[in-house]
Each structure stands twice: as C-alpha cells, then as structure tokens.
Amino acid sequence: MNNEFAFTLYTTQTCPFTARIKVLIALKKLNVNIVDPSEIGFDKYKEIVSVVRIPAIETSKGIILVESEAICEFIEDQFPTIPCFPSDSMERYRQRLISRRADLDLASSLSPLGVMQQLGGRDERIVKMIRTSGRKAMIVLNELLGQRSPYAMGENLSHVDGVLLTRLHIIEQMWSLHDIGDPFEEFDSVKIYRKALSDNDTIASIERPYLSELTKAVAAMRSAQDASCEI
C-alpha cells in the first residue's frame, strides 16, 4: 500500500455503511486510497478481504478491518490529532446510541419489504407493518435529534451524521418506491436535521454521489416492478 495514504478503503458508491467512514475521513483531513472491489474483481478482492465484506480498510501494516462502526473507532484512535469522538463518557454513549438506533430501528423497519417483494405484489398488511415500525423508529430519532441542533451531536459534525444520512435516504426512497407515503411528515426535528445535513458542504460532497447512485438503483427497481405488473 502506498505510504502516502493513511489507509485503503474498499467500498462501493451505494454502500450505506461507508458514509460514516467518509465523514470521519473528511473531518480528520485524511488522505485515503478508495478502491471499488468491482474494479479489481471478486477473486482479487477475496484474496485481500477473505470475509468479502464492504466496507473494509487495509491499514498501513496490511491489516484488514471490517464492520463500519468498529472501523470508525479504529480511525479515531489511530488518528487522534483532530478528535471527532466525545471525550465525555455520556456524550460518547449518546453517539453510540444514535448510531445503534439507526442501524437497528431504521434498517429493520424496512425488512418486511423483502417479504412483500418475494410475494410479488403489494400487500396492505405488510405496508401497514412498515408504516408502524417506521413511525416507531422515527419517534425515537425525532426525540434524540430534538435534543440538539443542527447536527446529531450538536454544533459539530460527527460520523453519526454519516450513519443517519444514508439511512434516511434509503427509507425515503423505498417508501416512495412502494407508495407508502412520506416517512418524515410528522417529524419536524428530522426534517430540520436533514436540511442542515444537505446544507453542509462536507456532507453534501458525500451525499451527492451516494444519492445519485441510490436513485438509479431505485429507478431500476421501479422499472422491474412496473414490468412485472404488466405481465
């Protein structure tokens, strides 16, 4: 690995877990080599990352690390010159809590979609489940975000903002795809927070390419969905 890079990051543009790492990279002003596994081929990537997971990083010592949240903590400890994690234990707990709730509640609220897609058609019972679980997740997030502004941890960006960025986009896009409605309609703190993220130059530089690829993927799903309805 080239010594001028802090490390190599293996990821794709659509990976929802990578935004948190990219936010940390930007805040710490790290020079990182970013490699899309598709560019080097599956076999080569498996040689490098035996568990074949993304994102993954290869350290300057050739050590492979996986799991985005654990990678973020490694980066914080390895490059402490610009600290991005709270030193206060309660603040660090809050940071972990928001990240955990996003990864569990927001993600799991969409899991019934897999069942509906397997069934091959719209099922109002499943749509109701998605609305209910999504609303529960949003209630928790809205309350957490309402305690601070403009970002998840307050005045300063943190990797948690990268966590929420992709989760919120996925929920919005998938609800739209399946005509479920607006997941943020009744949650003012979430709406204000999303605007603050998009208005931030650091976040916007990560958001734009991710959202571009995500909308392409969702458009392809919509086309496939429309085609199946015509059969």
pLDDT tens for each residue of 59-71: 999 999 999 999 9
pLDDT at 157 over 60: yes
| Confidence at residue 231, expressed as pLDDT on a 0 to 100 scale | 47
According to DSSP, the β-strands at 8-10 and 56-58 are antiparallel
Strand segments, DSSP code E, in the chain are: 8-10, 33-35, 56-58, 64-66
pLDDT at 119: 77
Give the domain ranges of the chain.
8-78, 89-230
* Residue 223 CB partners (closer than 8 Å, separation 6+): none
Q: Evaluate if residue 83 carries a pLDDT over 90.
A: yes
Give mean pLDDT, residues 67-76: 97
User: In this model, does residue 3 exceed pLDDT 90?
Assistant: no
Q: Give the pLDDT of residue 58.
A: 97
CB within 8 Å of 216: residues ≥ 6 apart: none
The confidence score (pLDDT) of residue 63 equals: 96
Average pLDDT over residues 1-23: 89
45-58 pLDDT tens trace: 999 999 999 999 99
Q: Give the pLDDT band of residue 229 (cuts 50, 70, 90).
A: low
Best CATH choice for the domain 8-78 from the list 3.30.360.10, 3.30.1330.10, 3.40.30.10, 3.40.50.12240: 3.40.30.10
Residue 224: what pLDDT? 77
Residue type, 7: F
The predicted pLDDT at position 116 comes to: 82
- Asked whether the predicted pLDDT for residue 164 surpasses 50, the reply is yes
116 vs 81, more confident: 81
Q: Place 1 in a pLDDT band, splitting at 50, 70 and 90.
A: very low
Tell me whether strands 33-35 and 8-10 are parallel, antiparallel or unpaired: parallel
What CA–CA distance (Å, rounded) separates 186 from 164?
18
User: Can you tell me which residue has the tokens 């990240």?
Assistant: 99
- Cα 11 to the center of its chain, rounded Å: 12
DSSP states of 6-57: S-EEE--TT-TTSHHHHHHHHHHT---EEE-HHHH-HHHHHHHSTT--SSEE
Give pLDDT, residue 223.
83
Domain 89-230 class, CATH top level: mainly alpha
**Model confidence at 227, in pLDDT bands (50, 70, 90)?**
low
Top pLDDT among 225 and 179 is at 179
Instruction: Find residue 52's DSSP bridge partners.
Output: none
Q: Span 188-201, mean pLDDT?
A: 96
How much is the pLDDT for 222? 83
Tell me if 8-78 shares its fold with 89-230. no
Q: Report pLDDT for 118.
A: 78
